[in-house]
Amino acid sequence: MVFAPYMKRLSAFLLMFAVLTAHAQELNFWQKVNELLTTMKNIDSAYIYQPKQHFTLGLFSTVQSAGFDSRAKFSFLEDGNVTSGVTKYSLGTYPSTKIGLELGYGKFVLGYGFEVGPKRAYQKRLLGVNLLGKAWGLHCSYFSINNTFSSTIELSNGDEEPYYEDTYIAPDPAMLRYLNIDGYYVFNHKRFAYPATYKAGLVQRRTSGSWMVTMRFMHGNLFATPDASYSSYFFMDCFNTTQVSLGGGYSVNFVCWHKDPTGLRDKGLRNITLNVTALPVLTALNHIRTTSYNYEDEEFSGTTVSDIFCYPMPNFIGSTALGITLDRFFISARFVYDWSYFHSNYAFNADEQHISDRVDELTLRGYLHNWSAKLLFTYKF
């Protein structure tokens, strides 16, 4: 055909155009991603300075302690008398020490740590993923820790002193797993760099602060041994909670020392900044799931599962950090404390419990607490 050579050329041209367009779109996509991670818009340069280096490599050491304490109250009829009982559960708070690496590009930071030192508490793993900007950010962390677990039961007649008390310490440690996702928004992000004291990439030139709002999702699991239930009326051996919290507070960066960079390289001590943050939150959604190992004549007879929602409760997130910028190095020391409270009058399914024919009422209250101290050395390139 006369048009055959032209059709082949047109097909080749269209194919080349499609390939180039796709390549351009791909480049445009990655350019947008790079801009999102590295570009800080709407900055008041008199208050915030952004170093030119985007890649970071960090070595950190962390001491961490996470605990769980709960108290279940109940009453039942025995020989015509009302007997009050209390069972207490506690996860030990021996600290765990770990070291790890952090890799970062712009706002994005990925970290992984493993346990070192005395095996008083066994930190199985630690993983953190961060997307931290001056206006908004997300922090996701996961860890699991093994620690000593104890359960106690007290029985009394009404308000009298307990006539029976027994404490059981499990021979094997219990495991606590903890997933936490925090998001924040800074109102005065033009002059206040919230992550400046614990992440390389932003430097606070002048003292500034801001009101903040935060949203938190937390999911925790506690796994005990079946033996721990036998001396505590079989109420709770596995426990998990899911919480969604909203709140806000204030954060401030106190600039103790600052010297602007000169020339092509940032030489010498450039900045020392101290941050203090307080974020009270309200846990609007708090779901608890408990599993009880039931026994009959000292033999395991099955499990009981209860799903309940707790009352909204106030909780607290607090932190303080010190950041030092020195040439291409960044040094950070940070302390964080989290406290989560829960309370419910319907924590167990009494109709299915081992002593359901005698139980009159059941309530559960307690808290999860987690603190960590982190020392970070970062090189920017």
* Model pLDDT for residues 277-296, shown as the tens digit of each residue: 999 999 888 888 777 665 55
Burial of 219 (0-12, 13-18, 19+ CB in 10 A): middle
Q: How far is CA 26 from the centre of its chain?
A: 35
With 70 as the cut, is the pLDDT of residue 189 above it? yes
State the pairing for strand pair 55-78/81-91.
Answer: antiparallel
> In angstroms, rounded to a whole number, what is the distance separating the alpha carbons of residues 168 and 117?
28
Average predicted confidence (pLDDT) for the chain: 78
Statement to judge: residues 60 and 187 lie in one domain: yes
> In angstroms, rounded to a whole number, what is the distance separating the alpha carbons of residues 204 and 210?
13
Tokens in use for 314?
A: 């106030």
Q: What is the mean pLDDT of residues 337-345?
A: 81
Whole-prediction pTM value? Answer: 0.79
Statement to judge: residues 156 and 51 lie in one domain: yes
- Tell me if 38 sits within 8 A of 55, measured CB to CB: no
With 60 as the cut, is the pLDDT of residue 303 above it? yes
Statement to judge: residues 152 and 250 lie in one domain: yes
Statement to judge: residues 28 and 115 lie in one domain: no
Q: What is the CA radius of gyration of the chain?
A: 28
Specify the pLDDT at position 248.
93
Q: How far is CA 358 from the centre of its chain?
A: 40
Q: What is the mean pLDDT of residues 89-116?
A: 83
Statement to judge: residues 10 and 59 lie in one domain: no
With 60 as the cut, is the pLDDT of residue 208 above it? yes
- Tell me if 84 sits within 8 A of 157, measured CB to CB: yes
Specify the pLDDT at position 206.
93
Handedness of CA 237, 242, 246, 249 (dihedral sign): positive
Specify the pLDDT at position 342.
80
**Candidate from 228-242, 343-357, 363-377 with smallest mean pLDDT:** 343-357
Q: What is the mean pLDDT of residues 57-82?
A: 80
Tokens in use for 136?
A: 């908004």
- Structural domain of 5: 1-39
Specify the pLDDT at position 280.
92
With 70 as the cut, is the pLDDT of residue 8 above it? no
Statement to judge: residues 76 and 11 lie in one domain: no
Q: What is the mean pLDDT of residues 152-162?
A: 75
Phi, psi of 101 (to 5 degrees): -120, 150
Statement to judge: residues 12 and 147 lie in one domain: no
> In angstroms, rounded to a whole number, what is the distance separating the alpha carbons of residues 35 and 57?
20
Q: What angle do CA 124, 129, 266 make, to 5 degrees?
A: 115
Statement to judge: residues 159 and 239 lie in one domain: yes
> In angstroms, rounded to a whole number, what is the distance separating the alpha carbons of residues 60 and 89?
33
| Segment of 34-38, 88-92, 113-117, 247-251 carrying the highest mean pLDDT | 247-251
Domain CATH number, residue 220: 2.40.128
Specify the pLDDT at position 19.
56
Statement to judge: residues 32 and 136 lie in one domain: no
With 50 as the cut, is the pLDDT of residue 231 above it? no
Statement to judge: residues 210 and 270 lie in one domain: yes
Which residue matches tokens 């309530």?
363
Largest CA-CA distance found in the chain, in angstroms, rounded: 108
With 50 as the cut, is the pLDDT of residue 235 above it? yes
> In angstroms, rounded to a whole number, what is the distance separating the alpha carbons of residues 101 and 59?
5
Q: What is the mean pLDDT of residues 32-45?
A: 76
> In angstroms, rounded to a whole number, what is the distance separating the alpha carbons of residues 9 and 7?
5
Q: What is the mean pLDDT of residues 92-108?
A: 84
- Our count of domains for the chain comes to 2
Name the percent of the chain lying above pLDDT 70. Answer: 72
